[in-house]
Structure 1
Amino acid sequence: MALLKIRNLTVEFDTAQGPFRAVDGIDVEVEEREVLAIVGESGSGKSVSMLAVMGLLPPTATITADEMTYDGRDMLKMSGRERRQIIGREISMIFQEPISSLNPSFTCGYQIEEVLERHLGLKGKAARKRALELFESVGIPDPARRLKSYPHQLSGGQCQRVMIAMAIACKPRLLIADEPTTALDVTIQKQILDLLMKLQEEYGMGLIMITHDMGVVAETADRVSVQYKGRKMEEADVLSLFENPQHPYTRALLAALPENATGDRLLTVADGWEGVQ
């Protein structure tokens, strides 16, 4: 049985210009201990589809699906209370832009201890001890001092590690990582990816990696789902996708990689792709 299973997910937003469909009939399925990469350009509905799962879209969003189950439980029929017992504990998400995702008014230690109290009932010294262990596990230097730091006092890479520590605080079964390395320099990107894969293996989590970076896909994924304008173009295991992509859009994405450049000009996706009819 799939850990997360979604069939025909659609998300529409009410706008001044009328309804806008950001996700159009997406299917998603991920097993325990599996890494699923969801790839595509900005605006392809990658983040919106996962925010719909997390229940984090604004009231202007209309979400429909034929099926949305987690561990066999119907998420579409859950009450708000039942959903909150799962989200943050069994299903966690690492958001884009770690500095803006943390509350600037509270210390990093307070924010992670809040998660531990809400989901695990830990308070006081017990919560502080667990927070310290989490900071150590994600490689934050001088963790005792960093617990007392505010987000603006940390680097981007350290803030991302804080976000990862918060996401794994309750040892979730499913972790969604939304462009986890986008705002970081290349050296830190590698460290964060290595950390995520280490934690995924250690905890046996299912991992959904949202990215536009095909290099990240090649390094981390078991399966790949390619999206374009809210629709799924192709899904395959990672080796098959790179060696024999079936859809023109997937081929265009791969052709746009720097290592696949020919001649003096780097190809863009538009060079090999005229759109979906």
Structure 2
Amino acid sequence: MPLLEIENLVVEFDTASGPFRAVDGVSLSVDAREVLAIVGESGSGKSVSMLAVMGLLPWTAKVSADKALFNGRDMLGMDAAERRKIIGKDISMIFQEPMASLNPCFTVGFQIEEVLRFHLHMNKKERRARAIELFTQVGIPQPEERLSSYPHQMSGGQCQRVMIAMAIACNPKLLIADEPTTALDVTIQKQILDLLMRLQAEHGMGLIMITHNMGVVAETADRVIVQYKGRKMEEADVLSLFENPKHKYTRALLSALPDNATGDRLPTIAGLMAEGEFMTVTPR
């Protein structure tokens, strides 16, 4: 049985001009110890799909699905109290922009200890010891001192490591990493990806990697889902996708990779098309 199984997920938002469908009939599954990448351009519904399953969308969102099961439990059928016991414990998410995701009013130590207090009911001494252990695990230097730091006193890479520490604090079964290397320089990006893959292997987690970076996909994923305009365009194992992409949009994404240094113009992908249409790749 898959760890997470979603069928025909639909997410709509009420707007002044009528309902806007951000996710349109997406189906996916991920197993324990598997890395699933969801790729596509900004606005393709990647993050919204996962936030919908976790119940983290605003009240303006209307979410429906034929099936949305985590470990055999219906996520959309749960009440808010029951979902809160799972989110952050069995399912964790690393959000985009760590500097914006951490609360600037509290130390990073307090924020990670709150996760441990709520889900694992640890006492103060146990929480501090676990926080130090987590900071050490994700490679934050001088972890005891860093617990007293505020987010603005840490670099972007360190804040991202704090977010990862918070996400794995309760040894989740499923970790969702939403653009985990956004706004980080190339060296730090490599460190963060290596860290995520090591933690995924050590803890046996299922991992969903949301990204628009096909290089990240090639390095990390077992399977890939390609999304465009809220729909799933293609799904394949990572080797098949790169060697023999079936869908026109997938070929467009791969053609836009700066995979050589010939000096030619890179191909481009046009913007959103009318219903039922897809973009044309500008040739090299």
**Do they superpose with TM above 0.5?**
yes
Q: How far apart are residue 54 of structure 1 and its match?
A: 1.2
Change (3 A) 1:275 1:238: farther
Aligned counterparts, 1:135-174, within 5 A: 135-174=135-174
Could you list the per-position Cα deviations for residues 195-214 of structure 1 after superposition, in whole angstroms to 9, with x for gaps in the alignment?
00000000000000000000
- Quick one: percent identity of the two aligned structures? 75
CA drift of 1:260 comes to 5.4
Q: Structure 2 CA distance, aligned partners of 1:3 and 1:12?
A: 25
Corresponding position of 1:255:
255
Q: Deviations over 1:77-118 (max 9, x none)?
A: 212221111111000000000000000000000000000000
What is the Cα deviation at residue 269 of structure 1?
2.3
Paired position in structure 1 for 2:81: 81
CA 260–244 in structure 1, closer or farther in 2 if over 3 Å, else same: farther
Query: How far 1:43 sits from its partner (Å)?
Result: 0.2
Match of 2:128 in 1: 128
Q: Distance in 2 between matches of 1:45 and 1:260?
A: 30
Distance in 2 (alpha carbons) for counterparts of 1:276 and 1:93: 32
The structure-2 alpha-carbon separation of the partners of 1:115 and 1:24, relative to structure 1 and needing over 3 Å to count, comes to same
Retained in 1: the 8 A contact 2:53–2:76?
no
Query: Which one-letter code corresponds to 2:78 in the other structure?
Result: M
| Maintained 8 Å contact 1:255/1:261 | no
| 2:75 aligned with 1:91 | no
Equivalent residue, structure 2, for 1:2: 2
C-alpha distance in 2 between matches for 1:24 and 1:177: 22
SS at match of 2:23: strand
Asked whether the equivalents of residues 261 and 267 of structure 1 are also in contact (C-alpha less than 8 Å), the reply is no
Amino acid at match of 1:253: L
Match of 2:59 in 1: 59
Q: Deviations over 1:128-151 (max 9, x none)?
A: 000000000000011111100000
d(CA) in 1 for partners of 2:233, 2:275? 11
Provide the C-alpha distance between the structure 2 equivalents of 1:142 and 1:256, rounded to a whole number of angstroms: 41
* 1:197 and 1:220 in contact (8 A); partners too: yes
Which 5+ residue runs of structure 1 have no aligned equivalent? none
Three-state SS of the structure 2 residue aligned to 1:259 is: coil
Aligned match of 2:281: none
Secondary structure of 2:172's aligned partner:
coil
Q: Secondary structure at the match of 1:258?
A: coil
1:107 is aligned to 107
Spell out, residue by residue over 1:29-50, the C-alpha distance to the aligned partner (whole angstroms, 9 max, x if none): 0000000000000000000000
Q: Which amino acid in 2 is paired with 1:37?
A: A
Q: CA RMSD in A?
A: 1.5
| Corresponding residue SS for 2:264 | coil
Shift of 1:263: 5.9
TM-score (norm. length: structure 2): 0.95
Q: CA deviation at 1:221?
A: 0.1
Question: What is the alpha-carbon distance in structure 2 between the residues aligned to residue 261 and residue 17 of structure 1?
Answer: 45
Q: Aligned partners of 1:234 and 1:96: how far apart in 2?
A: 24
- Inter-CA distance 2–129: structure 2 relative to 1 (3 Å threshold): same
Q: What's the secondary structure of 1:250's corresponding residue?
A: helix
Structure 2, unpaired ranges of 5+: 278-284
Partner of 1:46: 46
Task: Kindly provide the CA deviation profile for residues 59-92 of structure 1, in whole angstroms up to 9, marking residues without a partner as x.
Answer: 0000000000001111122122211111110000
After alignment, is 76-85 or 87-96 more displaced? 76-85
Three-state SS of the structure 2 residue aligned to 1:194 is helix
Cα pair 1:173 1:205 within 8 Å, conserved? yes
Q: Deviation of residue 185 (structure 1)?
A: 0.4
The DSSP-based 3-state class of the residue aligned with 1:28 is strand
Runs of 4+ residues deviating >6 angstroms: none
